[in-house]
Each structure stands twice: as structure tokens, then as C-alpha cells.
A and B are shown apart, each in its own frame.
Chain A
Amino acid sequence: NAGVTQTPKFQVLKTGQSMTLQCAQDMNHNSMYWYRQDPGMGLRLIYYSASEGTTDKGEVPNGYNVSRLNKREFSLRLESAAPSQTSVYFCASSEDGTGTYEQYFGPGTRLTVT
């Protein structure tokens, strides 16, 4: 049981390049999330998906697109990277409903845009 996996772990991009961050979970969770973490800002939600085929914008969606490929996979795409997108990106998943349904996080992707 791997939990939430993310690839790659590290990436350096030049301004204007594109890339896709991959995320997969094996816990059969409906909900999946993408966050970015910047110093002093906590975790800010980029996009989330409540179920396969649905996605919704979070707090900071500009410059990003997402795809919920199936129940397991949720990818984040940067079409034209900018230095402001230098950050650590976390994917997470959770069960639905009330209760102790905490989020499970992937190990993160450290992205640098030069």
C-alpha cells in the first residue's frame, strides 16, 4: 500500500516551459487535491477534485490546469512556467463524509523556475 505517490520529486524549469506533475493514490479515495507551499504562506489549494471527472478551482488556480484521469490519478499541468510558480507542490487525497477523514499527502515535488 503506497498511499499517495508523486512524480517527479525535483524539477527545474526555464520560464515558459511546460510540465505535468503526476499524482496517484491507491486508497480508493474520491477526493484529491493539489496544493502549493511557500514559506510563510502555509498550504494553498490550487485545484481539487471531488470525484472522477470533476474538478474545481481552489484559492490559487491561475497558471495551472488539472486532469482527473481516473479515480486513482490527478495531474497538475503548468502550461507556461513562471518564476512565481517556484514552490513545493503537494498532492493529497481523502475519503468523503464527516468524521476523521484526514488528508493523506504525497511526498511533494520541489519545483524551481528560473
Chain B
Amino acid sequence: AQKITQTQPGMFVQEKEAVTLDCTYDTSDPSYGLFWYKQPSSGEMIFLIYQGSYDQQNATEGRYSLNFQKARKSANLVISASQLGDSAMYFCAMRAYTGNQFYFGTGTSLTVIP
């Protein structure tokens, strides 16, 4: 069975500081993808970053990077230089490539403090 765990229900970070949002996953599939989404208070789901299980390097997209530790089955999101607009819910998700399903964690609510 596939499972995503986000253990931080809420996080606070000072503006301009970096923050790490934790995500661990469980799968027996050798080939899978890991995704992070942002959900601001307006409700839409915004795709942030992707990491493939065979990718050798950690993914980066602007201020977002994914700290991928395959042996530990973790895929933490790092946001550098936090901005007030980063305040939102963040969801980690996984897709095992033997199927079409995406599995989501319960999310982390991030608040950026000015």
C-alpha cells in the first residue's frame, strides 16, 4: 500500500528565513514520482515541484527545493527566503507508476511572520 505522512500540522517561519516541510512516504514500487502542491486560502491547488525516484539530483524550482533521501523515504520541501505570500497549506503527494493514483498527505499549514 502507498502512504504519505506529513507530521507537521502547522509551522511558523520568519519572513526571509528558510523553512523545511517534512514528508515521508511508503511504497514498494521501484518507480514513482513525488510532488508538492501549495493551497493558499483562496483554495486552488498549485503545483510546486516534482522529484522522480530515479533522479540523481534533488529538484529545484526557484525558491523551492526538494530534499530527496531515497533510503529514508523522505521528500522534504525547502522554501528559501520565505515571503508573506508563502503562507498556505502545503501537500506532499506520490504517484507510483504502476498505477494512475496519486496519494496525498494531510498537509502542513505554513504561516510566514513579518
A residues touching B (Cβ–Cβ < 8 Å)? 31, 33, 35, 40-45, 48, 50, 56, 58, 88, 90, 92, 94, 96-105, 107-108
A98–B31 touching, CB < 8 Å = yes
B44–A105 touching, CB < 8 Å = yes
CB neighbours of B6 from chain A (8 A): 42
Minimum distance in angstroms from B26 CB to a CB of chain A: 15
The docked-state distance in angstroms from the alpha carbon of A88 to that of B107 is 15
Chain B, 1-39, CB within 8 A of any chain A CB: 6, 9, 31, 33, 35
CB neighbours of A101 from chain B (8 A): 33, 95
Residue B100 at the A interface, CB < 8 A? yes
CB neighbours of A40 from chain B (8 A): 9, 106
Of the candidates B45, B50, B97, which one forms a contact with A105 in the assembled complex, judged by CB atoms under 8 Å apart? B45
Of the candidates B52, B97, B102, which one forms a contact with A45 in the assembled complex, judged by CB atoms under 8 Å apart? B102
By size class, the interface of chain B is: 20 to 34
B33–A99 touching, CB < 8 Å = yes
Query: Nearest 5 CB-CB pairs, A to B?
Result: A105-B45, A42-B106, A43-B104, A102-B47, A100-B50
Minimum distance in angstroms from A43 CB to a CB of chain B: 4
Using known A-B contacts A90-B45, A103-B102, determine if residue A42 contacts B107 with beta carbons closer than 8 Å: yes
Residue B56 at the A interface, CB < 8 A? no
B44–A108 touching, CB < 8 Å = yes
Can you name 19 extra interface pairs (CB under 8 A) apart from A40-B9, A42-B6, A99-B52? A35-B104, A41-B106, A42-B105, A42-B107, A45-B102, A56-B100, A88-B43, A92-B45, A94-B100, A94-B102, A97-B97, A98-B31, A98-B52, A100-B33, A103-B35, A103-B93, A103-B102, A107-B43, A108-B44
